[in-house]
Amino acid sequence: MWSAKIFTLYPEFFPGLLDMGMYKRAREKNIWKLDIVNIRDYALDKHGSVDDKPFGGGRGMLMRADVIDHCLINNQNNNPTIYLSPKGKTLNQDMVKNFSLQNGLNILCGHFEGVDQRVIEKNNIEEISIGDYVLSGGETAATVLLDSVLRLLPGVLGAEGSLQEESFNDNLLEYPQYTQPREWEGKKVPDVLLSGNHAEIKHWRLEQSRSITQRLRPDMWQKYNKNKN
């Protein structure tokens, strides 16, 4: 069973969207499990303090290293721990696949102005970013991360083959898709998709993926050509 353990100041945020649809069904089938740890339960004073002002000045508050470390020590397992941070490595599909092949993940959700760097270094926590923008806390990012990973677990998505044709596989974006009606507001479904010729459809889709990737994501296009050669 794949295990997600989330360390947060706001446990009421979870399971949230992860308690719906295929993820709820997968959890009920014991394909994965979710444990929520309230960091505030591990405060070291009677006031329940979890943050303080940053040394050197600056706005906002910083989550304390001693509190977080106490929390991590009391909830140890063998799974990798990541901290969701704007200065981390940008999440990509290769990383997501790797996470899905682990036994699970520990996810530390930051808040306020972030986390004391010392606890990250002491515990060899990997910093991961879901994009070049700032959120109010790591809980939203944790949901995005888990959404991307859980759908890759065997038995969660159902149509296993469809995973092979999604965007970012083989460094190509996904081709356009169409359904009924065949004509809508003067726009018709491409004839090749109605032909029944699977070889031609496959070729058309590949060419569409190549064209879209080259136009919209030149960085991915370069990787695609490099791997192809």
Full-model pTM = 0.81
Looking up residue 209, the CATH number of its domain turns out to be: 1.10.1270.20
Q: What is the pLDDT of residues 122-145, one digit of tens each?
A: 999 999 999 988 888 999 999 999
In a shared domain, residues 187 and 144:
no
Res. 169 pLDDT band, cuts 50 70 90: low
Work out the mean pLDDT of the chain and round it to a whole number. Answer: 91
Q: What is the pLDDT of residues 82-117, one digit of tens each?
A: 999 988 999 999 999 999 999 999 999 998 888 999
Which is more confident, 15 or 134? 15
Q: What is the pLDDT of residues 40-84, one digit of tens each?
A: 999 998 888 999 999 888 788 999 999 999 999 999 999 999 999
Res. 157 pLDDT band, cuts 50 70 90: confident
Q: What is the pLDDT of residue 152?
A: 95
Mean pLDDT of 160-179: 70
Looking up residue 29, the CATH number of its domain turns out to be: 3.40.1280.10
Q: What is the pLDDT of residue 163?
A: 52
Q: What is the pLDDT of residue 160?
A: 53
- Asked if 73 and 102 touch (Cβ cutoff 8 Å), the reply is no
> How many separate domains does the chain show?
2
Q: What is the pLDDT of residue 161?
A: 43
Query: Is residue 161 one of the residues assigned to a domain?
Result: no
In a shared domain, residues 62 and 140:
yes
pLDDT for residue 176 is more than 80: yes
What range defines the domain where residue 202 resides?
167-228
Q: What is the pLDDT of residue 12?
A: 97
In a shared domain, residues 100 and 179:
no
C-beta pairs of 140-145 under 8 Å, 24+ apart in sequence: 141/84, 141/109, 142/6, 142/8, 142/14, 142/84, 142/107, 142/109, 143/14, 143/16, 143/17, 143/18, 145/82, 145/84, 145/91, 145/96, 145/99, 145/105, 145/107
CB atoms within 10 A of CB 52: 13
Query: Is residue 66 one of the residues assigned to a domain?
Result: yes
Mean pLDDT of 118-122: 95
Q: What is the pLDDT of residue 202?
A: 92
In a shared domain, residues 135 and 214:
no
